[in-house]
Amino acid sequence: GRSLLDFLPPEAHSPIGRALMEGRPISSDVVATESDTPLRVILPDRSERWLQYSLTSYTMPDGARRILSRVTDVTERADRDERLRKSEEMLRRAERIAGLATWEMDLQNEALSCSAALLQMFGLEPSDAPLTREILRPQIHPDDRDVTMEQLIRLPDRGSPIDYTFR
């Protein structure tokens, strides 16, 4: 048997890893904090994996404290998440360089999701509330509002993209 410590990278910042390395007891607060947090491990062949631990602490009838752990290999998900993060960063960089912004509308509830660049163009602050046509409308020049909103409403029925300029 090998110790979990054999697999933790030297720079591991896991509170459980630090407690194990220092020989300190592991509190239930640390267990709760660490549960479901992916942790990078280095296997004996020096390959890297991301493991997600689901941890629960409990007390035995004799008073001994125990930790029960379920470990799931989430390396593929972590790799996908990293590729998505890089792709999103490249899109943000390209938008900034080209002076562009992107948005998408959910036709069911008319909620808009947009890039930070669009919010910046309209002088809006990022918010957890969905961007709606009602919020967007005042950002468009009064002379362009009706035509722009009409273009937006008719777009799904067109079946083809449009190029449209408004102030």
What digits encode the pLDDT tens for the residues 42-77? 888 889 999 887 777 788 899 887 877 788 999 999
CA distances from 122 to 100, 119, 126 (A): 12, 5, 11
Burial of 39 (0-12, 13-18, 19+ CB in 10 A): buried
The confidence score (pLDDT) of residue 10 equals: 59
124 pLDDT more than 70: yes
Average pLDDT over residues 125-139: 79
